Amino acid sequence: MSLSLTMKELLAPWLDVSQAFAEIAVQQLELDSRKVVSGTTFVAIKGHAIDGRQFIDSAIHQGANAIIAQACQAKPHGLVELQDDVAIFYLTDLGELLSQLAGRLYAQHNNQLIGVTGTNGKTTITQLIAQWLELVNYRAAVMGTTGNGFLNDLLPAANTTGNAVDVQRTIAELAEQGAQYTALEVSSHGLVQGRVKALPFAAGVFTNLSRDHLDYHGTMEEYAEAKFTLFTQHVCQRAIINVDDTVGAKWFTKLDNAIAVSLQEQNTPHSVWAKQVRYSEQGIDIEFDGMFGTGQFHAALIGEFNASNVMLALTTLLALGFDKQLLLETAPKLVPVLGRMELFANHGKAKVVVDYAHTPDALEKALQALRVHCQGQLWVIFGCGGDRDKGKRPMMAEIGERLADHVILSDDNPRSEDSAEIVKDMLAGMHSAQNAVVEHDRFKALQYAIAHADAQDIILLAGKGHEDYQVLANETIHYSDRESAQQLLGLM
């Protein structure tokens, strides 16, 4: 990218840069000193775990042309000092200004942004929106859990929502590659930590709220408040809210620019709802009504929550002014998202559905969705992550026991915890724990299920979805539920 500002232009809202340093060219901002190359401007903030100011020497050594650093008592706001002929500019509250600072350099484009937040469904909705936009001849990209970029060329992402500088830079790079729209998954961590603070969202979407990330937020109230800030503390021109979720229903009444989306009839003028939903092994057929008029379409997706997801995607695009008839005509070409209720089938064997469901609510919805499609017995294989919220372990086991006919408990990123202890926590939530099969090796767990299941049965392999790794105490090894399903069903 050939973007450039002078230091005076970049820092204008916060500092009046003296003539001696005004013309320093800023072409690339970097938070990680290890990525600094000649001509990079290093941004040194005090982060949650690491103080970037410790790496100023290293950044200068690697060729940084200037440093923008977080001010403190010893180095007050406005101070400019030279170190090895490299200027260091000190700013107060630099961490909070990061999104705006990066935006001044990188946000010189017309890439329209759609933010999607909520516990479950973010990946599916962002990818459905991007698919649909491509089908009606617009270039669309995504940023989130499964990677950043265009759908046929996603680059891995370390976090659902990257740091404030990386987010702005990635959006600019996607625009340069032709993206007219980018649909972003906006995590609660990303909102709390200001990673999307200065982004102008053409639309924001709320999917649902259920137990997750309490190891970080502490309470459900704080978790909900973090999500709500997308609509209250960010530029968000249109809010598309799932009012079938109790939190969403409450938020809808508080937002002036909101459109309610529901699978039930609504009596508010600013709403879109499903009049009828029909489920089959071929997918979902939906008739809808509301502020954009009536219509009907077919989508090759499985389950009630995907009916909600596709309705949220549709309403977002209608709210942005896209042609309704064109959207309805192209809906049958939408395809399931990688590792999200993804069906693997081979004649004479049980069907295997791979899904990312790793929260109690997601597991419950996935099992309820498959029960509608299942003519035989319903199996479920899942685990719970180590070093994460322990409270959801018995809850997920209780859901598995209540909604499936057969439960197999396995490993899902045990990290530094003893996987036997994780399973013990899960078994505590079951009434008849002796009926659960425990097999820590996920490949062997699926092998067991396929060997014991009938051809009419469905096996839900939940928790990892698109992931192709298993995180252990001292290493991360290659493992993929999708590959296991294909191999054991003889599809590879």
The CATH superfamily label for domain 5-103 reads: MurE/MurF, N-terminal domain (3.40.1390.10)
pLDDT surpassing 50 at residue 223: yes
In this prediction, residues 468-479 reach a mean pLDDT of 96
pLDDT digits (tens, 9 = 90+) for 22-35: 999 999 999 999 99
Question: What is the percent of the chain with per-residue pLDDT over 70, rounded to a whole number?
Answer: 98
Question: What is the percent of the chain with per-residue pLDDT over 90, rounded to a whole number?
Answer: 84
pLDDT digits (tens, 9 = 90+) for 418-433: 999 999 999 999 999 9
The CATH superfamily label for domain 342-488 reads: Mur ligase, C-terminal domain (3.90.190.20)
pLDDT digits (tens, 9 = 90+) for 423-466: 999 999 999 999 999 999 999 999 999 999 999 999 999 999 98
pLDDT digits (tens, 9 = 90+) for 44-65: 999 878 999 999 999 999 999 9
What is the C-alpha separation between 405 and 413, in angstroms, rounded? Answer: 25
Closest CA to 408 of 456, 369, 365, 352: 352
From the annotation, which residues make up the binding site for meso-2,6-diaminopimelate?
388, 412-415, 463, 467
Confirm if 355 and 368 have CB atoms less than 8 A apart: no
Calculate the average pLDDT of the chain: 94
What is the C-alpha separation between 403 and 185, in angstroms, rounded? Answer: 29
From the annotation, which residues make up the binding site?
31, 33, 118-124, 159-161, 187, 193, 195, 388, 412-415, 463, 467
pLDDT surpassing 50 at residue 213: no
CATH 3.40.1190.10 fits 109-333, yes or no: yes
pLDDT surpassing 60 at residue 218: no
Q: Can you give the residue ranges of every domain in the chain? A: 5-103, 109-333, 342-488
The whole model's pTM is what? 0.84
Which of 111-125, 213-227, 465-479 is least confident? Answer: 213-227
Please tell me the predicted confidence (pLDDT) of residue 338. Answer: 86
pLDDT digits (tens, 9 = 90+) for 280-324: 878 899 999 999 999 999 999 988 889 999 999 999 999 999 999
From the annotation, which residues make up the binding site for ATP?
118-124
